[in-house]
Each structure stands twice: as structure tokens, then as C-alpha cells.
Chains A and B, each alone.
Chain A
Amino acid sequence: MEITGAEVVVRCLQEEGVEYLFGYPGGAVLFIYDELFKQDKVKHILVRHEQAAVHAADGFARSCEKPGVCLVTSGPGVTNAVTGIATAYMDSIPVVILSGQVPTHAIGQDAFQECDAVGITRPCVKHNFLVKDVRDLAPTIKKAFYLATTGRPGPVLVDIPKDVTVAKVAFNYPKTISMRSYNPVVRGHSGQIKKAVQLLTEAKRPMVYAGGGVILGNAAAELTQLVRLLGFPCTNTLMGLGGFPANDAQSVGMLGMHGTYEANMAMQHCDVLLAVGARFDDRVIGNPAHFFEEERHIIHIDIDPSSISKRVKVEVPIVGNVRETLQELIRQLDGFQERHDRSALKTWWTQIELWRARDCLKYDRGSAIIKPQYVVEKLYQLTNGDAFVTSDVGQHQMWAAQFYRFDKPRRWINSGGLGTMGVGLPYAMGVKLAHPDADVVCITGEASIQMCIQELSTCKQYHLPIKIVNLNNRYLGMVRQWQEFFHGNRYAESYMDALPDFALLAESYGHVGMRIDKPADVEPALKEALAMKDRLVFMDFITDQTENVFPMVPGGKGLSEMILV
């Protein structure tokens, strides 16, 4: 029996077990929406802006082990989605984006709501397709899911012209797919792993540096086992938080521009560095020339060969799936503790503890104005460290990363690579749908939240009782901080004037709004909000306007050149 392309799309999603489809209808996708209407297996979440559709799908994917899926119309539907796609791309998140396109005969005619979706998204997708023949539709969607979720994951876009959704074909969803040009490596080379074991055994000042690849590769358990076996210090990148428990004594916290003193000093001064699913980016190692002033041997495990020796030359590259490679490494490390020089390691730990004693994250706890760090710390305590926390981008993001101590993977959801303001609320929507019984908190600021605030309406429609912690300092805080440090206190356009009353605004969307401006009210407010399990609560915390994020490695400086509080 032949069915329409539109039905093929929906059947493919059903075959893939897609539970939620985030989208926004429009002319080019009307037939697909018509088919969605006729079934109830795939639930559609109507966002208020296509950017949020991709962010929500992205947040969903980050918080569980499944790809996120969204559907947008042609033209502005696609262009609005681009920020979301680029965000997912920079953090290697598996998202499948289905976009409508004008009919094949109209392509290139500057038709209404036409844009070159494949061309516009090409630089920010893992791959994309334009389906011109309905017979190619099911195999292409299969390929899209396969590409998005295997190897180094990433977003994949499938552009579907309207006439293709009308044309008929016999439905046959391939069970498996193979592509001669795409064969992601799975297992790390065992000879290379042997070399790594050798270096680790000889290490006197070792360090493990773990990134988002550990989270995406579901390798947190293996990493934890490895680090405990080695007895080495472990630092996590912003994207890797939760990959190793923050509360473990071997954790030295996050590294990088706003990393801890101990993590950055240990990173700079180690003699053997084991990098796992991380990419030595500019926010992590600062100035590469400064980083190389100290000699060290580097082992780098990554699924993407192009991440290896991109910014930092590596001695032992190991290309492979992080999880399987770590398993093999653990096997080869049998009897490691007897062979390793534990006294040198002890001296190294003594040094690290001295750095740690510097207490680089201290802040004024007696302040009469609410300190943003205090809010995050209280939130951490009241949720027992067990909430899913999304954030936007800026100072609040860094405080969340520093003060909410993640012990589990996939609990910390933020835009690390692209640094997209506005992701926090739609991320929280995706996460809440994936984990309806969990506490989902969006830590944001008054600037970021306004970039996707329309989604409060989506939250109302689908009953998503997210908790929003707005750290409101009436400034673009991180911009203001840089202006204070590097631009002579000239706060050009970083003050947010004419802010709405967020509590009232939330209420007008049908949610609960709170405004908190005294430190003593922070804890009661958080408690009250968290107790309202079935309501979205918007907590507007009026915080210290001049608070800065410390430590800070200024742009272009080296890791040990931190500004400390």
C-alpha cells in the first residue's frame, strides 16, 4: 500500500521511537502536521519560536541518551532554527531537524518562504539532506538518525519539499543503514593504549582532564573507575561537569577561564596529562604558548581525530569511543598501583591541597545584598545536588557551574561552545519532558531569559513545572565584568534598563512569580518554590550588581595567570 510522504515522515518518527517532536507549523509542512494530527504516538510540542524548538530538542537529548527531534517550516522557520542548530553543533548534540521546503518545481524561483536551508545550515550541521524524491525519504530519515547519534554526534537536517510530502510511495523503513563514506571508529588502538599506560605509570605529577565527550559517550562510570584506580586528580571542563563526581576528594573542580585555582595550577604544572573527550579549547587552556612553557606528556582520547592535535600537539593520540577505550585502558592498568611511584604522587597531592587551600571560590557570606553564589549554593543544598540544572550564558552560568556540584552526568545542561543566550528555558522544557518527575531548574539572568521568554507560554500549555532562578543584577553581568576589568569601567550598553516585573510577567502567563531581594528570604523562597511540584515558579532574585566571577584567566593569558578574589 502506498502512503504519502507526509505519512512516511510520521511513520519514520514512530519507527525511531520518537516521543516528543518540538515544532512550529507553516505552509510547507502542513501535510506533515495533518498526519501528526491523525496519530498520538509522537507527541508534538508547539513552541513559540523555532529557535526554542531546536533548543528544547537539544536539551532533551543532553539530558537523556536519545536524539532530540524538531520540525520547522521553510524560510523563516529554518532561519529561526539556525541559532539552535549551531548551538547543538558546537556541543556535538544529536538532534534531527526536519524542515519544510517549497515544492521542488519552485526551488530557486525565490518562492514565498523559500530559503536555501541546506546551504544556510551546511556549516553548522554534521550533515544535511534535501529530499527531492519521495522514494528517498525514509532511507534519508534513517540516515539522519544514524548520523546524528553515532560517532561524534551532531545535528542533522532533512529538508523536505512540500510536493514530496504529497507524493506516494510504499513505506519501508530500513532496519539498518551503512554508508561507505561514514565509518566512525569505535575501539581505540590497543598499541596506543599501551603507550598511554606506560606514560601514566611513569607520571610523577599526573592529571586527568575530562570533557563533554565523557558525558556524550556515556562513560562517566568508566571515568570514575579509572580515576579512582589511578589515584590522580581529575578536572572537568564546563561541558564535562558530572562526568566525575564533584564531591569526590580527587575532583579539583572545573578548569579554564573561570575554573578553580587548583585545577588550573595542576593543569599547568602536571607532567602527564590524560585528556578524555575534551578539546583544549581557548576557554580551557588560555594562551597555548603559555600552556607550552611547561613540558608535559599528553595522552588524548577522542572519537573525533580532528579534535586531536588541533590546538595542542599530543604525544599519544587514541581515536575511539571514550567508553570502550576507557574500559580497555582500565584492563591494561591491572596492577597499576604496585608499579606506580606513589610517593611522588603523594607529594603532588600535597601541592594540590595547598592550591586548594587558597579557597578560590570564596565570597562575602555576610553581605546585606543577595550574592548570586549564595542562591546557587542554597539551591544545591535544597535539591540535594540532584536536580537537572539548565543555564543560559554569562556570569550566572559560571556561578552555576562553580557552586552546583554535579555528581552525576547529564544533570548540567548549558551551551558551552556557542555560548547562546536564551537556551536556558527551552533546555529546561526538553529536560522536564524527558524527566517529568525530576526537579528541573533553569538558572538564568534577566538578560538571557528575555531572549526566549515567550516559551513561558509553551510551559503553560504543556504543564511543565520548571523552576526558574533569575539572578537579576540589572546588568549584562559578564559584559559588565569585562568592561570593568579591561575597558576602564566604561559600561557601554551593558545596563539593562526598562526591565519588566518578572514576577508579574510570569503570572500573566499563568505561572507563579516571586521577587526576592533579601538574603534571609532566599532559602524560604527556594523551599516554597521547590515544594510547588506542579507549578512553574519564576523566582526573581535581586542580586549584587557588582559581583564578579572569580577566578578569571583573562583572554590571551595563561592558566596560571588567574585574577583571584
Chain B
Amino acid sequence: MRHILSLLLENEPGALSRVSGLFSARGYNIESLTVAPTEDPTLSRMTIVTSGSDEVIEQITKQLNKLVDVVKVVDLNDGEHIEREMMLVKVRASGKDREEMKRMADIFRGRIIDVTDKAYTIELTGTGAKLDAFVGAIERSAILETVRTGASGIGRGERVLKA
């Protein structure tokens, strides 16, 4: 099953490689991994999307907790949570496609953030599934380039992850 793990870790050089090294050394999956410093510059917040049986997810959580640089780990799947991913997609936008692309971006609540005669760059935010849906909805040959951030997650309501 797919799980989304949220981590607080020391903002130290090498902390990321300790986490990624753990996943490769123990044969765990990483679907996506995002990391950036938090409002407290000594801490980084990381979101890892992974998958595995309950036993595997339990081991992943325990192993992550064991890393000295990791301050906290939560499995967002343990409660209600929100998940967002951002995608930048450069699409062909010339001739009759130009209007169609604009319309599709609007339908998916995307924003066109760069325009040339022949192309649009669209910014799109949502769950991974929504981004997949957009990519599926437009004509494949129209896609020039995509870049995705990977998922970020946060608990719903009053639930907070603090050091």
C-alpha cells in the first residue's frame, strides 16, 4: 500500500543521503522524495512517498527513527491528511491547439506562467492523481517537457509535526 511519510530532520549536510541510503540499502521503495528547510533553518522537512506491506512500512518508520539526524517521523496515512504536488509542463500551443491548451489548463485550474508563439508553460498543483489526469487529458504529442516536485504532505486540522 502507498504511504506518505513526513519527517523532520536536522538540516545538516549528509542528512538526505542518510535517508536515501537507508532506502537503497534495505531495498525499500521511494516513489518520491521532497525536502526543504523549514521556518526553523536548523530543521528540514521531508516528505517520502513509499509503498509496502504494513510490516515493511513499520520497519521503514523504525529505521528512519533510528537515524541520528532524524528528529521525528509520522506516517500521514495514520490520519486525515492533505497532499499536494506541483508540476510545470511545457506544451505545444500553436494554431488550433493554442485555445484548446488554454481551456484544458483552466479546467484543471492550472496557470499559464510562460508564453511564446508556439508554447505555453503551465503550472499545475494538486494530488499526484490530478497531475496524472492532466497529462492524460492533453494530447501526448503536445507535451514538450514536464517536471514534477513530488508530493508534499501535511496533517489535517490541528495535527502538527513539530520538533
Contacts and interface: CB of A to CB of B under 8 A. Distances in A.
A181 interface: yes
Interface stretch (A120-128, A196-204, A231-239, A425-433): A120-128
A304 interface: yes
Contacts of B14: 118, 122, 130
Interface in A145-203: 147, 179-182
A147 B67 CA distance: 11
A181 B71 CA distance: 4
7 contacts: A119-B17, A127-B68, A180-B71, A181-B69, A181-B70, A309-B58, A309-B59
Q: Which interface class (under 10, 10 to 19, 20 to 34, 35 or more) fits B?
A: 20 to 34
Contacts of B70: 181
B59 A182 contact: no
Interface in B25-76: 25, 55, 58-59, 62-63, 65-66, 68-71
B69 A123 contact: no
A109 interface: no
Nearest to A305: B62
B66 A304 contact: yes
A310 B59 contact: yes
Nearest to B42: A180
Contacts of A313: 55
B103 interface: no
Contacts of A343: none
B68 A126 contact: yes
Contacts, number: 38
A315 to B, nearest CB: 14
B163 interface: yes
B13 to A, nearest CB: 8
A170 B58 CA distance: 45
Interface of A: 118-119, 122-123, 126-127, 130, 147, 179-182, 304-306, 309-310, 313
Given A126-B68, A147-B68, A181-B9, A306 B163 contact: no
A182 B55 contact: no
A304 B163 CA distance: 21
B68 A122 contact: no
Interface of B: 9-10, 13-14, 17-18, 21, 25, 55, 58-59, 62-63, 65-66, 68-71, 163
From DSSP, what is the main secondary structure of chain B's interface residues?
A: helix
Given A181-B69, A313-B55, 15 more contacts: A118-B14, A119-B17, A122-B21, A123-B25, A127-B68, A127-B69, A130-B14, A180-B71, A181-B10, A181-B70, A305-B66, A306-B63, A306-B65, A309-B55, A309-B58
A123 B14 CA distance: 12
A122 B68 CA distance: 12
B5 to A, nearest CB: 15
A283 to B, nearest CB: 19
Given A181-B68, A181-B70, A122 B17 contact: yes
Nearest to B10: A181
Nearest to A182: B68
Contacts of A123: 21, 25
Nearest to B18: A122
Interface centre among B13, B18, B62 (most CB of A within 10 A): B62
Nearest to A307: B62
A37 to B, nearest CB: 33
B66 A180 contact: no
B66 A306 contact: yes
A180 B68 contact: no
Contacts of A310: 59
A309 B61 CA distance: 12
A66 B13 CA distance: 30
Contacts of A305: 62, 65-66
A306 B17 contact: no
Interface centre among B18, B68, B70, B71 (most CB of A within 10 A): B68
Contact of B62 (A119, A179, A182, A306): A306
A518 B59 CA distance: 53
A179 B25 CA distance: 26
